[in-house]
Structure 1
Amino acid sequence: MQPIPRIAAATAATTALALLLSACGSGGGEQTSAKDKQTLTVWGMGEEGKHLAKLGKEFNKKHPNITVKVTPVGWDVVHQKLVSAVAAGELPDMAQMGSTMLGEFIELDALDTVDQKTFKKDDYFPAAWNGGVKDGEAYGVPWYVDTRALYYRTDLAEKAGVDKPPATWKDQMDLAEAYKDKAKTKWGTYNQPANIGTWQTWVPFLFSAGGELLDSSGKPALDSPESVKALEEYAAYFDQGLSRKSSPPDYDVVKDFGSGDAPMFISGPWIVNNIKDQQPQLKGKYATAPLPAGESSTSWVGGASLVTFKDSEHKAAAKEFTKYLTSTEQQAHWYEIAKSLPAKEAAWDEPALKNAPEQLDAFEKQLKTAKTVPPLAKWEEFSAKIDEGVARVSQKGESPKKAAAWMQKATEGLVG
């Protein structure tokens, strides 16, 4: 998922809010049977939208009466287009929706609930399913997932005298120091210091410290002892000169990984293909591993779910297409064509996944213990405060305790 400009998103949401609340929730008009001849309209995001159109044609061969019309929408504009479409009553029947967007559209009553007899929670990675659940109701069926794991240069680790992946926070710090001191790399690792999306690298530290984004009452928990500990651990890499303190918004860590300047970093599974395409010389010279553990080795789950909009008149057809896309066979097929990881656990036993690059094994392990990012209506604003809080520590030298207190206060008005 690509981040969207927050100012534009916030402006669009604020302007349309009154219209949204009055436009949503009617439940659609007269429903069309899945057996009737019809056109099912679907929005797919980015490059995935183009691949989805191909699957729509394959589905149509098996269901000649249902024509799937897919409209690809860029990740950079999808939020604004969805907000405008809800306000205007011009939504498609269903869409691919990024995991951190679900909360906003659940809050706006724009999504239909999932039939949990047809789509069963236990078939999916728990954190992926729970990301679309509020008050016991599910609003999205997980389609594909990603999580964060550790990438590290094995050749440079060997040069530094280390022959196994780091299993704990101490191991991770020791390896970063060894890279710089013994392998003579420019930095020992790369932790994103600031800018949009910094939370994606820091939240695994929070979860691995035993912390949470929200407490049991649904209020922010960003000033907890665990949060302070996570900020302290994160900050130590900057304080000791083991990670660069600034990077441009378009910074590509894969380049520094290839040169050896940044021999270790945390990121998602798509990087495996980026390395293959952009840094082919690294074949056999790097590996992935589950996140080194603080109290635990715990990442977070991202990805996308399939949602049906409440006002659709083609909910039966939408259910059929969702069943098709989330079948075990199609989940494996989707990995083959889009390299996105299946949300359905059984798909990992399919040949396509069994024969996938070995670097993906760490992500399967990580997904089993990963936690959910809560479906918050104001997640974009909430995550922006985390980004700023981390930057206060990494770039301004603010104490972790003070930064944690600031994040707590800054996010308290963003949850309801």
Structure 2
Amino acid sequence: MHRNARTASAALALAMAAGITACGSSGGAGVAADKKQTLTVWAMGAEGEKLAEVAKVYEDANPHITVKVTPIGWDVAHQKLVSAAAAGTLPDVTQMGSSYMGEFVELGVLEPVDTKTFKKDSFFPAAWEQGVADGEVYGVPWYVETRVLYYRTDLAKKAGITKPPTTWPELQQAATAFQDKAGTQWGIYFQPSGLDTVQSWYPFLYSAGGSIVSDDGKAAMNSPETVKALKEYGTYFEKGLSKKSFQPGYEVLTDFNSGDVPMFYSGPWTMAGINDNYPDLKGKWAIAKVPADQGSVSMAGGSSLVVSKDSDHKEAAKEFLSYLTGTEGQKDWFKRSGDLPANTSAWDSGELANDANFKIFRDQMETAKSGPVLPQWTEISSKADEAISQVTQGKASAEDAAQKAQSDIEGLVE
């Protein structure tokens, strides 16, 4: 999941100034799927580069279709999408990060998904929910990610830890044992402050049964469950188990390799990062599901694929999306990109079915939770970032920080 600091309200103001209203326009009947035509596609980051390879394969099998893929950097993606929406020039198909979805639904520029073609039961529940707003589906899940616990098995042995922690008390006991018995500088790494601190905190929030905004759209930062998650997170900094200072661009794998940090939460890409950059760690690390409170519930991220409401190529776009999000297309995408499939059937054979680490990620994804699809979500989650920072830096109690965030978020969701 990628986020941009620009707020939804600013994007909406720009779009509205350019004449976009929530009603949108349909783009007419459009071109039939079997006619010669060009599909325009925007995809972000490394996915944009890899998708161009897939597009060539698709074109070979469908010679009447030309797929023009434009890679967009995540650092400029939000700005380019808002500008294109305002100008009515969105591409036929766009990769849409989960934190953007609510904003562009609000702008009325996305075509609802044909749920007879794309079925909810084919995808992880949290992946599907990332494309749903006000009961309507706007995004087809493309790939997913979630966070699990990475830990040093060799240092665990020194610390007398014989199995990965499975509960909150066991996690804190393990962090303490790493420091006291294995001599690590820290017991674990959690982001203490800064943009997207909330992503490090989500496993605590969701495992406690809390939320930032409830399912019925009300601010929930001061709920007992959310306050409990804030308090638990804060104890790691209060006890010196995780460092309070935060440097933008910090790379936890450097300290994981040195042994200064023996545990941290991260996503599937980190496995490749360890294997490629720290070969000496082979056989010295493992992963496990996030330790549980009410349950073991991590965050769900990833991206969906959306179709522009103004596209004249909706039928061809639907067929292209069917290819990308079907079982075989998802398996191929995993081989090319390493991104975890959103379609659960792609996990039923091959490496995803047989590798023990991928099995852990699948188990975690089954219970993972995504944030609500709201146009103000970037601004809302930044209020949670601020609350977490107040707690980790010892500037406010969990109760007081949560209440301040509650008041701020109420003003955004009313």
TM-score when normalising by structure 2: 0.97
Matching residue's letter, 2:32: S
Quick one: structure 1 residues 319 and 279, their matched pair in 2 at CA, closer, same or farther if it must change by over 3 Å? Answer: same
Q: In the alignment, is residue 36 of structure 1 matched against residue 35 of structure 2?
A: yes
Amino acid aligned to 2:376: K
Match of 2:347 in 1: 348
Q: Report the AA paired with residue 387 of structure 2.
A: G
Q: Secondary structure at the match of 2:74?
A: coil
Could you say which residue in structure 1 is the equivalent of 2:114? 115
Match of 1:379 in 2: 377
SS of match in other structure, 1:211: coil
Give, in whole Å, the separation in 2 of the partners of 1:352 and 1:294.
Answer: 31
Please give the secondary structure, in 2, of the residue aligned with 1:205: helix
Q: Which residue in 2 is equivalent to 1:6?
A: 6
Q: Deviations over 1:71-109 (max 9, x none)?
A: 000011100000000101111001111112111111111
Per-residue deviation, 1:29 = 3.4
Corresponding residue SS for 1:22: coil
Runs (4 or more) in structure 1 with deviation over 4 Å come to 9-13
Tell me, what secondary structure is at the counterpart of 1:192? coil
Number of residue-to-residue matches in the alignment: 414
- What is the letter of the counterpart of residue 116 of structure 2? K
> Aligned with 1:100: secondary structure?
coil
- 1:12 to partner: Cα distance: 4.6
- Give CA-to-partner distance per residue, 1:181-228, whole Å, 9 cap, x none: 000000000010001110101121111111122224311101101111
How does 1:274-285 map onto structure 2 within 5 Å? 274-285=273-284
Q: Does 1:389 align with 2:387?
A: yes
Amino acid at match of 2:303: A
In the TM superposition, what is the alpha-carbon distance from 1:254 to its structure 2 partner? Answer: 1.0
**Bigger shift: residues 216-225 or 186-195:** 216-225
Asked if structure 2 preserves the Cα contact closer than 8 Å seen for 1:24 and 1:86, the reply is: no
Post-superposition CA distance 1:344-397 (Å, at most 9, x none): 1110113142355x3232211100011121101011111111111100001143
CA separation of 1:293 and 1:44: change in aligned 2, threshold 3 A? same
Structure 1 residue matching 2:42: 3-state secondary structure: strand
Give the distance between the partners of 2:152 and 2:244, measured in 1 at CA. 21
Give 2:365's match in structure 1, choosing from 357, 364, 367: 367
Q: Deviations over 1:49-89 (max 9, x none)?
A: 01001111111111111100000000111000000001011
Percent identity of paired positions between Structure 1 and Structure 2: 55
Per the TM alignment, residue 163 of structure 1 is displaced from its structure 2 partner at its CA by 1.1
Deviation at 1:168, TM superposition (A): 0.2
RMSD: 1.5
Q: Which amino acid aligns with 1:272?
A: M
- State the TM-score, normalized to the length of structure 1: 0.96
Residue number in structure 2 paired with 1:415: 413
The gaps in structure 1 that reach 5 residues or longer are none
Residue 48 of structure 1 is matched in structure 2 by 47
| 1:23-55 Cα deviation digits (max 9, x unpaired) | 861111340000110000000101110100111
Aligned to 1:404: 402
Q: Residues 185 and 248 (structure 1 numbering): CA distance in 2 closer, same or farther, change over 3 Å?
A: same
2:15/2:107 contact within 8 Å kept: no
On the 8 A contact 2:212/2:384 being kept in 1, the answer is no
Partner of 2:270: 271
2:331 is aligned with what amino acid?
A: A
Q: Greater shift after overlay, 22-31 or 201-210?
A: 22-31
Which residue of 2 is the match for residue 313 of structure 1? Answer: 312
Q: Which residue of 2 aligns with 1:16?
A: 15
Paired amino acid for 1:191: F
Q: Which residue of 2 aligns with 1:142?
A: 141
Instruction: State how far apart, in whole Å, the 1-side matches of 2:45 and 2:403 are.
Output: 37
